[in-house]
Structure 1
Amino acid sequence: MKERVLRRPLAGKALPRQWVRVIETCCLTVLGFLLSQATVFDSLAPFGIAFAASVPKGRVNIFVAAGVAMGTIVPGGAGQPLRYLAALATVLAIQWIFGPFKRMVRHPAYAPISAFIAMAATGAALLPVYGTGVSSLLSVGAESLLCGGSAFFFAVSLRILWEGRRITTLSRQELCSVVVSAAAILVALSRLDIAGISVGRILAVLMVLLAAFYGRESCGSIAGVATGLIMSLSSADMSHLGGAYAVGGLMAGLFSPLNRLASALAFIVSNGIVAVRVGGSPAVYAGLFEVMIASVLFILFPADWGASLRKVLDPKVTAIPVTEGLRKSVVMRLQFASKSLGEISQSVDAASKKLRKMTTPNLDTTFSQATDRVCRNCGLSMFCWGPACYDTQNAVNDFTSILRKNGHIERSDIPAYFSKRCCHVDEFLREINASYRDYAVREAAERRVAEVRGAVVDQFEGMADMIGELADQLEEAQSFDQPCANRVAEVLSEFNLPPADVSCLLDRFERMTVTAVVTGYDMQSVSLRKLTQAVGEACDRVFEMPGVASVHGQTRLTFCQQAVYRLSIGCAQRSYQDGPLCGDSCESFFDGQGRAILMISDGMGSGGRAAVEGVMTTSLLGQLIKAGFGFDNSLGVVNSALMCKSRDEALSTLDVACFDLYTGHLQLMKAGAPLTLIRKNGKVLSCDTASLPVGILRDISFEHSELRLREGDIILMVSDGAICSGTDWMEAELTAAGQFTAQQLAERIVEQARLRRLDGKDDDITALVGIVKKGV
């Protein structure tokens, strides 16, 4: 798997974008001129047309076309300039007609087909003039196929160039495309010669030698065949170069483990053998001199420059990409960290239980210490704790229930038989009451410490589960799309959203999720709809509106591929006695993973405190879910946060619905929440499970229910203030809710709940409605 994550440097100076484009345009125009000068079979020049077809429609392709046209017209190039100008015009016409169809233009077959059509059409038009014999038909067909194939290789090479990829990231197929493209350029340079010695062929031999030395015999053969084939087609005198370069590349690769000199000598000997077989001619002798010059340049080639070539060309490099190994390493480290935190949690829990046994205050010990302090100097001590020990102990034991109930003991609470015999009753009462007060304070403190200790243990467990969940998600990731990440980064820059990170993730179902971390995000100045459309065009897919999460000045935008369904959501609330604050909190959002999340939390009581608890519950859970954590693990964190929030008891109910927009799968999760009504296939179903609210006990968990919905089904979630008058009327409302929007239905439910309550009491009322619709 290849890493498909783009990281843009945050520091460093670079040329302004406009200057980069100017330089790029000039270079492409010069390439167009050179390629149109490259000929095969002495007079055919298909490479310029192929290059023009491989450049997408835009400002650049006009300049490239101008360069190709100039190269065609200049003497020494194409044998039929008018025909190639007509083919160039045909290519431009095809690009103009089909340019708006982004999906078609990005298809790998688009450039080869357009180049083939342009060359074949113009060649067929001239057949009546030059004859319709077999040789003419074969010539047109061969040139058209060569033009289409070259366009494919040029398109791949240009894509690599525009993506700014390094040579170490190229696959073998991409590297072959680059080699073929470079060989075509060298054909044009081969016309540049000094006393019959061609500069282009010297560079071609140097390229073969480098490929053979750093990539061994496999890469040497590939480079030799590619360059030799194209060079041999350039002229009838050079037909022997196809075999000479191919054999030379193979032999140079075989001798490459020795040293550069051995590799160069193997190439020279191979070419010498072919030259002897072909026979002496000026072209053959010139070819031998070219090989010798290239061999000298190869031996002098800096070793540091070849380090990158060896990384990508050496077949001994493991077949597992570096990024795949990195991913596996991260997964293993996350899994190990998860297990370590889990063991820490168990250790802390075990230690706290042992310490609790040692430090927890004991009421019997408290009473014993109090009676010892009073009775140690009393003359009746031997009698009270001797013969009358049973009566004395019963009296002390009876104090326990009275102290638990009243918090203190009065003289009237002491049994008569004890008060008549004891001569220190008042002192005994003071000592017992004081000792119990100390005991109650220490017991309350120990209980609070135990709660905090338990919350810490739960936090460790929750962190372990959350890290393990991240590891599982990363392990399930199938691949990353680097070209899409590059294009998305450019789109974000055009919207004045400088990206820090961009990732285009493909899951096992080939569904793409684009995640971008940007700075300077402003809701008022950026149109999310336009941004989503632009990102979709860059990735050749249709995306939903992004999920947005901001933290510490950075914003994460998550674009999910458009789903089968969409969920229309409406929410309505009424506060207790129409007050300014509602004790219920509701939230709905798309998590960026193709799921719609609906949440209602009802804080304890009503008014400001209930509102704080409800908002805290939904906001914490929402943030964790948006960050990619699961519901059950997130619930544990929220529960611990509520338990540690204050000394007073703080609890909230929590009702969550998660709807998968791709499959229609609905998951209902409740923690102390009332029932949820579902209209499915025209029938109303009730989902009501017994569960505890969050914030009062450890080990709180959701009660889960699942079902599958389809277009037209409705989800209705309410707080307990809406069901005081029963639910039959709500079922009737859902059954008849044919023309209502989600918002209208939510407002109607809240208003009807207010009107139907006849017990004279009031409460906060919330209704959250989701209507399943077909994805657009």
Structure 2
Amino acid sequence: MKERVLRRPLAGKALPRQWVRVIETCCLTVLGFLLSQATVFDSLAPFGIAFAASVPKGRVNIFVAAGVAMGTIVPGGAGQPLRYLAALATVLAIQWIFGPFKRMVRHPAYAPISAFIAMAATGAALLPVYGTGISSLLSVGAESLLCGGSAFFFAVSLRILWEGRRITTLSRQELCSVVVSAAAILVALSRLDIAGISVGRILAVLMVLLAAFYGRESCGSIAGVATGLIMSLSSADMSHLGGAYAIGGLMAGLFSPLNRLASALAFIVSNGIVAVRVGGSPAVYAGLFEVMIASVLFILFPADWGASLRKVLDPKVTAIPVTEGLRKSVVMRLQFASKSLGEISQSVDAASKKLRKMTTPNLDTTFSQATDRVCRNCGLSMFCWGPACYDTQNAVNDFTSILRKNGHIERSDIPAYFSKRCCHVDEFLREINASYRDYAVREAAERRVAEVRGAVVDQFEGMADMIGELADQLEEAQSFDQPCANRVAEVLSEFNLPPADVSCLLDRFERMTVTAVVTGYDMQSVSLRKLTQAVGEACDRVFELPGVASVRDQTRLTFCQQAVYRLSIGCAQRSYQDGPLCGDSCESFFDGQGRAILMISDGMGSGGRAAVEGAMTTSLLGQLIKAGFGFDNSLGVVNSALMCKSRDEALSTLDVACFDLYTGHLQLMKAGAPLTLIRKNGKVLSCDTASLPVGILRDISFEHSEIRLREGDIILMVSDGAICSGTDWMEAELTAAGQFTAQQLAERIVEQARLRRLDGKDDDITALVGIVKKGV
């Protein structure tokens, strides 16, 4: 965890790390002292032990333990100091034993379990002394559970503190943990009183009023229940505070839309009713005075200070502000940006064509300059380019085809009539050859520049199309479910995945797609199945496992509703001569929009270079599809990337199958790829279209085919190395597939392709199989 730095608000300079640690240690030690002084049921003090357990080893836990021990020993705190000191020693022993196991220490259940064990073990040890009756057992059990639960809330609050998070980023669960932790501290402060008026209870009432006013009745009820429960446990005389604070928080929240005075009066009246029902005792009257003092402080509370509280507490403010008007505005801006990029592409293309005409080297001009340098000082120049101009020009024109073919001309290539008349033949040959070499170099450079210009034009055009496609997708969206988005954000926070953004989108078929961008995603520590189940419960729907796409430190999770079909996928490969690298690359994934994507790319040739080209093709296309872009626009980007990758020609075939898990619609897209076989209703169909591979020409597009599949149908995609011995045997294999799994069938196809090749040659072989099955 990164070291946080405290800043002086006026000077703006960071405090040294040593001072940060000193301040942090002092604050935690004081908290340990105060919490160990907080008692419930008059003599039980579990909060200090819970706080010590929530501070992991290495986080100044020795100093915290010292503060807890001091609070335990000082009179007025725990009724059995030796027992709590023993529990504290047990907690330290547990931390020392299990401290090296970092994964265990970071688990949310570590602190509650260690606190519960320490309190239960020491309580059980004293049962023979104080009796083993039902009341003693219940007392030990209740205190142990309270200690474990408090440790959980303290651990959550401390994690928020050490991460340096703002209050506006907290989820409801984290906010409740902070409220409970603050209430426990206020129990200790409730012992400070002036003429029977408790400072801690005044602050507790103020906290409930603030929560009710800025968070309405929901937050007011949460704060009232949490603080009232803990305060009522502190003493038998305060048992009425649980109901008083809970009802008061609810009523203050209901009257909060009016103004602060109405909210405060509602809280006072609610507590007055409870006081009348309980009866007039000094503690009850003191409680009413405390409520009045807290109400005055609440009315005088600065409005500017409550802005951050309103952002995190008010459900209307925390809802993601996506409205129909905002959606239309975003769509219009995306469409305008798409058109602007399209015009830029056209302008760059037009300018490059004009520059090409101006800068492209001309062979006639090259020959003219060469002959001028040789003939300008020759005495026969007037004759050669006068009466004999026709013969001289014909000889020079004949040099063009020879130079194009051989790259140079020799004396034997010169016509006899020209060599007999010209007195500078050798010098003429040198000039012509040198000029042609310069011309060839400039022509190659200009050709490469033209390719780069073309690639730039294609990139601008591709970006325009991709942005336009995003605008169309957003315009087709029917509605956004904001309450679901807020609930999903809370679920992600519970899984320690702080959400940067959450969207719950309903399409025109009322199918929901949940998209969340999170930070700190760790595949090892998060169960996607449990996370999917929790997200489904939050949205009251059943979702598929999410599609996962990571960029730098952020990860996008896309959940789609459970589909009608599912696709069982199997892939098998064999490299050329069983080498370590395969020139074919295959990939399969679910794009998070209810579609299964299968891809095969065959790089040019075999071995390492072919492997790089094939892997680059599938990787780039997969990333773009996962990002939400269409196939045709993504193909243009991949094609431009391959053309600009190196000076050498880099080409790959591309075979893509997109299966819609909701409708059974299969879309096949090919760019230079071999045929695809499909078994539909027991019959084998072949899809073979003529197309060009990517990486050669600028204007490359997919050849599309479509078909609708049902349960039991099979998709078979192969590379060209599998079809060298024909496809009849593959059709027979598909017909007799029987009970083969997708993986078994793919492996069988590859093995049979290897055995059936009899021409003595070898190639990379890849088979990708998809079997349609029922979704539920």
For the 8 Å contact 1:718–1:768, the answer to whether it is kept is yes
Distance 1:387 1:303 in 2: 103
Kindly state the Cα deviation for residue 490 of structure 1 after the two structures are TM-superposed: 2.8
- What are the superposed Cα offsets for residues 134-189 of structure 1, whole Å, 9 maximum, x if unpaired? 99999999999999999999999999999999999999999999999999999999
C-alpha separation in 2, matches of 1:481 and 1:158: 33
Q: Work out the CA distance in 2 between the residues paired with 1:144 and 1:313.
A: 32
Measure how far apart 1:322 and its partner are. Answer: 6.7
The percentage of aligned residue pairs carrying the same residue is 99
Counterpart-to-counterpart distance in 2, 1:562 and 1:12: 53
Q: Which residue of 2 aligns with 1:653?
A: 653
Contact 1:157–1:178, Cα closer than 8 Å, also in 2: yes
Number of the residue aligned with 1:265: 265
**Counterpart contact for 2:34–2:185, Cα < 8 Å:** yes
- 1:514: how far off? 1.4
Question: SS at 2:357's partner residue?
Answer: helix
8 Å contact kept, 1:5–1:481: no
| RMSD of Structure 2 on Structure 1 (CA) | 11.3
Are residues 541 and 188 of structure 1, via their aligned partners in 2, closer, same or farther at CA, if it must alter by over 3 Å? farther
Normalised TM-score (structure 1): 0.63
CA contact (8 A) 1:532 1:559 kept: yes
Contact 1:5-1:504 at 8 Å conserved across structures: no
Cα deviation for residue 488 of structure 1 reads 2.1
CA distance in 2, matches of 1:514, 1:561: 9
Per-residue deviation, 1:549: 1.0
Q: Select between 263-272 and 113-122 the one with higher mean Cα deviation.
A: 113-122
Shift in CA distance, 164/542, structure 1 to aligned 2, threshold 3 Å: farther
Q: CA deviation at 1:519?
A: 2.4
Q: 1:286 to 1:583 in 2, by over 3 A?
A: closer
Secondary structure of 1:693's aligned partner: coil
C-alpha deviations, 1:692-724, integer Å up to 9, x for none? 000010011101111111111110000000001
Query: What's the offset of the Cα at 1:653?
Result: 0.2
Question: What are the Cα deviations for residues 87-120 of structure 1, in whole angstroms up to 9, with x where unaligned?
Answer: 9999999999999999999999999999999999
Q: Between 551-560 and 231-240, report the one with greater CA deviation.
A: 231-240
Distance 1:502 1:163, change over 3 A: farther
Matches within 5 A, 1:222-261: none
- Aligned partners of 1:546, 1:210: CA distance in 2, in Å? 39
TM-aligned CA deviation for residue 438 of structure 1? 0.2
Moved more, 542-551 or 523-532: 523-532
- Sort the Cα spacing of 1:26 and 1:133 in 2 relative to 1 into closer, same or farther, 3 A: same
Distance 1:710 1:50 in 2: 58
Aligned to 2:324: 324
**1 CA distance for matches of 2:520 and 2:250?**
55
Check conservation: 2:310, 2:317, Cα contact below 8 A.
Answer: no
Q: After alignment, is 229-238 or 358-367 more displaced?
A: 229-238
CA distance in 2, matches of 1:27, 1:414: 98
What pairs up with 1:115-514 in 2 under 5 angstroms? 323-514=323-514
Deviation of the 1:326 alpha carbon: 2.1
Aligned-pair CA distance for 1:56: 33
Secondary structure at 2:60 match in 1: helix
Compute the displacement of 1:333 (Å).
1.4
SS of the residue 1:711 aligns to = coil
Q: Using a 3 Å threshold, how does the CA distance of structure 1 residues 439 and 138 change in structure 2: closer, same or farther?
A: closer
Q: What's the CA shift string for 1:259-305, capped at 9, x where partnerless?
A: 99999999999999999999999999999999999999999999999
Bigger shift: residues 62-71 or 486-495 = 62-71
Q: How big is the shift at 1:323?
A: 2.8
- Describe the SS at the equivalent of 1:7: coil
Q: Is the 8 A contact 2:91 2:115 kept in 1?
A: yes
Tell which deviates more after alignment, 233-242 or 562-571: 233-242
- Alignment check: 8 A CA contact 2:717 2:769 kept: yes
- The alignment of Structure 1 onto Structure 2 pairs a total of residues equal to 776
In structure 2, do the counterparts of structure 1 residues 640 and 110 end up closer, same or farther at CA, with 3 Å as the change threshold? closer
Structure 2 counterparts to residues 581-620 of structure 1, below 5 A: 581-620=581-620
Query: Take 2:434 and 2:183, find their aligned partners in 1: how far apart are those partners?
Result: 99
Q: Is the 8 A contact 1:335 1:468 kept in 2?
A: yes
Distance 1:773 1:95, change over 3 A: farther
- Alpha-carbon spacing, 1:387–1:487, altered in 2? closer, same or farther (3 Å): same
Query: Mean alpha-carbon deviation: is it higher for 74-83 or for 616-625?
Result: 74-83
Deviation of residue 27 (structure 1)? Answer: 28
2:503, 2:542 → 1: CA distance?
Answer: 16
| Structure 1 residue 551: Cα displacement | 1.4
Distance change (3 Å), C-alpha of 1:642 and 1:103: closer
SS in 1 for 2:678: strand
Partner secondary structure for residue 616 of structure 1: helix
> Is the contact between residue 4 and residue 485 of structure 1 (CA under 8 Å) also seen in structure 2?
no
Distance in structure 2 (CA, Å) of the matches to 1:139 and 1:191:
23
Cα distance in 1 between the residues matched to 2:535 and 2:259: 50
- Conserved 8 A contact 1:366-1:435: yes
Asked if structure 2 preserves the Cα contact closer than 8 Å seen for 1:214 and 1:310, the reply is yes
For residues 217 and 578 of structure 1, the distance between their equivalents in structure 2, rounded to whole angstroms, comes to 70
> What is the distance in 2 between the residues matched to 1:391 and 1:15?
91
The DSSP-based 3-state class of the residue aligned with 1:514 is strand
Q: Is the 8 A contact 1:4 1:503 kept in 2?
A: no
Change (3 A) 1:542 1:75: farther
183-192 vs 478-487, greater mean Cα deviation:
183-192
Change (3 A) 1:11 1:638: farther
Q: Which has the higher contact order (CA 8 A, sep 6+)?
A: 1
Q: Is the 8 A contact 1:497 1:519 kept in 2?
A: yes
Per-residue CA distance 1:54-81 (angstroms, 9 max, x = gap):
9999999999999999999999999999
Runs of 4+ with deviation above 6 angstroms: 1-322
Comparing 144-153 and 478-487, the one that deviates more: 144-153
Alpha-carbon distance, 1:538 to partner: 1.9
Q: Shift in Å at residue 494 of structure 1?
A: 2.8
Could you say what secondary structure the match of 2:6 adopts?
Answer: strand
Is the 1:395–1:418 Cα contact (8 Å) retained in structure 2? yes
Q: CA deviation at 1:218?
A: 25
- Report if the CA contact (8 A) 2:52-2:91 is conserved: yes
Question: Shift of residue 601 of structure 1?
Answer: 0.1
1:484 Cα deviation from its structure 2 partner: 2.1
Deviates more, 1:22-31 or 1:752-761: 22-31
Aligned pair in 2 of structure 1 residues 384, 271: CA closer, same or farther (>3 Å)? Answer: same
Q: Give TM-score scaled by structure 2 length.
A: 0.63
In 2, the alpha carbon distance for the partners of 1:611 and 1:113 equals 52
Preserved CA contact (<8 Å) 2:7 2:14: no
SS at match of 2:740: coil
Which has the higher mean CA deviation after the structures are superposed, 331-340 or 160-169?
160-169
Shift in CA distance, 117/423, structure 1 to aligned 2, threshold 3 Å: closer
Query: What secondary structure sits across from 1:59 in the alignment?
Result: coil
* Alignment gaps of 5+ in structure 2: none
The 1:239–1:704 alpha-carbon spacing in structure 2 relative to 1, beyond 3 Å, is: same
Shift of 1:774: 0.5
Change (3 A) 1:741 1:17: farther
Q: For the structure 1 residues 649 and 503, does the alpha-carbon distance in structure 2 shift closer, same or farther, using more than 3 Å as the test?
A: same
How many Å separate the matches in 1 of 2:324 and 2:454? 39
1:678 Cα deviation (Å)?
A: 0.7
**Partners of 2:244 and 2:17 in 1: CA distance:** 44
1:421: Cα distance to partner?
Answer: 0.7
After superposition, the Cα gap between the structure-2 partners of 1:296 and 1:357, relative to the gap in structure 1 and judged at 3 Å, is same
The structure-2 alpha-carbon separation of the partners of 1:174 and 1:299, relative to structure 1 and needing over 3 Å to count, comes to same
Residues 492-511 of structure 1: per-residue CA shift (max 9 Å, x gap): 23333232222222222111
Say which is worse superposed, 372-381 or 77-86, in terms of deviation. 77-86
- 30-39 or 510-519, larger mean C-alpha shift: 30-39
Shift of 1:489: 2.5
- Output the CA distance in 1 between the equivalents of 2:107 and 2:525: 34
Task: State the SS of the aligned residue for 1:489.
Answer: helix
Deviations for 1:619-667, whole angstroms, at most 9, x for unmatched residues?
0000000000110010000000000000000000000000000011110
| Kept after mapping to 2: 8 A contact 1:8/1:499 | no
Instruction: For 1:736 and 1:7, locate their aligned partners in 2 and report how far apart those are by CA, in whole Å.
Output: 73
How far apart are residue 726 of structure 1 and its match?
0.6
Note if contact 1:3-1:481 (Cα within 8 Å) is conserved in structure 2.
no
Secondary structure of 2:541's partner?
coil
Deviation (angstroms), 1:491: 2.5
Distance 2:325 2:7 in 1: 19
CA distance in 2, matches of 1:405, 1:513: 61
- Closer/same/farther in 2, CA of residues 233 and 25 from structure 1, 3 Å limit: same
Task: Quickly say closer, same or farther: Cα 1:361–1:758, change in 2 above 3 A.
Answer: same
**1:430–1:502 distance in 2 versus 1, CA, 3 Å:** same
* Contact kept in structure 2, 1:505 and 1:513, CA below 8 Å: yes
